[in-house]
Amino acid sequence: VTLHLNPISSVHIHQKPLVFLLNSPLPLVWKLKTERLAPGIRRVFFVSLGSVVQFEKGNFSSSAETEEKLFPEKNEHLLQWAQKEYGAVTSFTELKISRNIYIKVGE
């Protein structure tokens, strides 16, 4: 699955830390494609067991962290866990089948 990350239109370059929980019932390869995300900013990708994140060449992989995690099985429990762990959830998306996911990051 390719994850496309771009800032919202009012933000020229996104310069804040990000945390992503990438959950799947089956192990996946998450391919990351980004535009206009500042290098050197902490970005964390938690993936379900057996999954991996692949970064584009020249991407911000040097400042990104990837960690496998055993997530709660149901989405409601995953959302509750994320809110408890991070205090807020700004976006939650559930897809049954997808090859590309487009996410706008920003304020």
Tell me: pLDDT of 103 over 90: yes
What is d(CA 71, CA 64) in angstroms, rounded to the nearest whole number?
Answer: 20
How many degrees, rounded to 5, is the angle at CA 49 between CA 46 and CA 53? Answer: 50
- Structural domains counted in the chain: 1
pTM: 0.89
Tell me: pLDDT of 20 over 70: yes
Q: Residue 61: pLDDT band by 50, 70, 90 thresholds?
A: low
Tell me: pLDDT of 87 over 70: yes
CB-CB neighbours of 11 under 10 Å: 16
**Radius of gyration from C-alpha coordinates of the chain:** 14
pLDDT at 107: 66
Tell me: pLDDT of 106 over 70: yes
Structural domain including 65 reads 2-105
